[in-house]
Amino acid sequence: MFTGIIEEIGHIAAIEKGNRSAKLVITANKILQDIKLGDSIAVNGICLTACHIAKQNFTADVMAETMNRSNLGELKKGSAVNLERAIPANGRFGGHIVSGHVDGTGTITNFKKDENAVWVTIKANATILKYIVEKGSIAIDGISLTVAFVDDSCFQVSIIPHTADETILLHKKVGDTVNLECDVIGKYVEKLLNYNNNETQQKKGITLEFLQSNGF
């Protein structure tokens, strides 16, 4: 589990791509101080497992499902990435609950300066936008942010100077993709509501109307 508070910016030292999977070697500093083999690290918001740890980098395997759902396939040697270790039991929840299991990607369509902040507009499809609410939480490339605006085609967030300095979001340009993880609460609510509807349908069973419509 993560909170979306980025600890440092790492860089891709090497990337080995298979047909549908990949192996990443990522340079870092702060997060290497206390991680162990098998620990979870969020890389651009994606929960990956450290399968090898060296003095200045760690290695993680990326399976096909993750490549399909995220923008990790667009990374190349030298690419900057947001890094966050899994939160310890005694840690602070400075952002919101982030699982590191992204729902998909969005596309940056605009940057707009607003005094000390920058508004970022991100286009996403309906399957993601339905979980995004104004003043709710969203993880963008692993960054916990508050939704400032949302409609049926896009949403916007406002980036303060600290977030701009500590993450890669404003290093991107219009047309770049970002990993999106919606607040898990909305997904649970939808699941429960659909479950109740399905259960009601199942309880109806064979009715008089069903028999009549089928010639009985």
Task: Please state the pTM of the whole predicted model.
Answer: 0.87
Q: Please classify residue 186 by burial: count the beta carbons closer than 10 Å to its beta carbon, then call 0-12 exposed, 13-18 middle and 19+ buried.
A: middle
Structure token pair of residue 97: 């609950």
Are residues 146 and 108 in contact, defined by beta-carbon separation less than 8 angstroms? no
Q: For residue 58, what are the β-bridge partners?
A: 26, 53
Q: What is the pLDDT of residue 196?
A: 61
Q: What is the pLDDT of residue 16?
A: 95
Q: What is the pLDDT of residue 189?
A: 87
Q: What is the pLDDT of residue 20?
A: 92
Q: What is the pLDDT of residue 67?
A: 95
Dist. CA 186–CA 90, nearest whole Å: 26
Pick the closest to residue 170 from 159, 182, 179 (CA basis).
159
Structure token pair of residue 145: 């942010």
Taking only the tens place, the pLDDT of each residue in 119-162 is: 999 999 999 999 999 999 999 999 999 999 999 999 999 999 99
Q: What is the pLDDT of residue 216?
A: 58
Segments of the chain with pLDDT less than 70: 196-216
Q: Which amino acid is at 35?
A: I
Structure token pair of residue 103: 């729902």
Q: What is the pLDDT of residue 191?
A: 86
Structure token pair of residue 48: 């990956």
Domains of the chain from N-terminus onward = 8-85 (2.40.30.20), 104-192 (2.40.30.20)
